Amino acid sequence: MSAQQKAATEIVAIAVDPRDQLQRMVDRVQRESGRAPDFPFLSDPGHRVINRYGLYNENSTRPVPHPTTLIIDKAGVVRWKVVETDYRVRPTNEQILAALAEVERGG
């Protein structure tokens, strides 16, 4: 990620889990990788944000969103998104960086 992208980009993780469960997730990531994530994990137990973007998984046995990666500009417009049904499938860092570069170019 370029210095310009770092200055213009904010990464957040949003989940329906309560804060204490999110903290356990952060702790697990730190144990497994040797460092804590350098972005916040936000709790959305009422799934207001998740519903705003139409990500609620109605076929799930519990209220979980579809695993999603979004690039949202400062005006709140979604410029890029990947929505999956399988939580194990996520875009790579390279795919996200390429999408950020494309959005930066005005694409």
Domain boundaries, the chain: 3-104
Is pLDDT of 107 > 70?
A: no
Average per-residue pLDDT for the chain = 85
Q: Are 38 and 60 in contact (CB under 8 A)?
A: no
CATH architecture, domain defined by 3-104: 3-Layer(aba) Sandwich (3.40)
pLDDT band for position 97 (50/70/90)?
A: confident
d(C-alpha 47, C-alpha 100), whole Å: 26
Looking at residue 76, its pLDDT comes to 83
Tens of pLDDT, residue by residue over 29-65, are: 899 999 988 888 899 888 888 888 888 887 777 667 8
d(C-alpha 64, C-alpha 60), whole Å: 7
CB neighbour burial string for 6-36, b if at least 16 within 10 angstroms, e if fewer = eeebeeeebbbbeeeebeeeeeeeeeeeeee
Looking at residue 67, its pLDDT comes to 86
Whole-model pTM above 0.85? Answer: no
Kindly give, in sequence order, each residue whose CB lies less than 8 Å from that of residue 28, ignoring residues fewer than 6 positions away: none
